[in-house]
Amino acid sequence: MVPTSSTPNVKTIAERLTDVRIRIENAAANAGRDASEIGLIAVSKKQPTAALEAALTAGQCDFGENYLQEALPKTEALTATTQTVSPIWHFIGDIQSNKTADIAAHFDWVHTLDRAKIARRLSEQRPSNALPLEVCIQVNIDQEASKSGVSPDQCAELATIVANLPGLRLRGLMTLPEPRNDFAAQRVPFAELARLRNELNGAGHILDVLSMGMSADLEAAVAEGATHLRIGSAVFGSRPE
């Protein structure tokens, strides 16, 4: 038999998106939150353009990409094929200084800012006809040696620098914690990021975004106030290598 796109047991991207949206609604209800205040970013790294088009057709506008070289052809393809909805592009990978011009030109958001030098370059290189780039500071909440992100005690200093750059609009904090298995343990780093955000707001910042929660821990992130979930495998299936 020739396999078709309707092969039983293989969910379509539209079905997976529906499942994820239901998970978010349930998590929001459990936390006494309104699901409409929680954004879903479909993390499309290593996925082909057709997968992103299927998601866009199913009403998914926000996409997260980690690798600039891989992302640029997708941003071009989707922008060209879009009729009614425009995709919104979130950069969620490590940023090298030689990539800042393209990131500033082709993305709407950057979630992984962790150095003043990169912040200044992105601000200078943001095209003058575009709105400021929306940015989150990445916090290395578990203080892992191998992870990107500022340590929690360096966050205030970088926030002040970013808030004063004209090409950037500081929106909030992002984190990518070590994987933890149970719900209570998953909540700990997310609660810590929320606490840090509140501390910065107490010091005069106006941060409304907490970018936290992935396929395996979105419920814990919603419980701790996530406003932007970054979900890959639950939307697209496991990633091709």
- Supply the DSSP string of 179-206, one letter for each residue: P-SSHHHHHHHHHHHHHHHHHHHHTT--
Q: How far is it, in rounded angstroms, from Cα 146 to Cα 207?
A: 27
**Position 40 contacts ligand PLP (CB under 6 A):** no
Strand partners, 113: 137
Beta-sheet pairing, 228-231 with 62-65: unpaired
Q: How far is the CB of 211 from ligand PLP (least distance, A)?
A: 8
**Position 21 contacts ligand PLP (CB under 6 A):** no
Q: Which is nearer to ligand PLP, 115 or 160 (CB)?
A: 115
Torsion of CA 221, 197, 170, 25, to 10 degrees: 30
Q: How far is the CB of 218 from ligand PLP (least distance, A)?
A: 8
Beta-sheet pairing, 88-91 with 39-43: unpaired
Considering only residues 52 through 71, tell me which ones interact with ligand PLP, judged by CB under 6 A.
Answer: 66
**Position 215 contacts ligand PLP (CB under 6 A):** yes
Site string for ligand PLP, 164-203 (x = CB under 6 A): ------------x---------------------------
Q: By the criterion CB under 6 A, which residues form the site for ligand PLP? A: 43, 45, 66, 92, 176, 214-216, 230-234
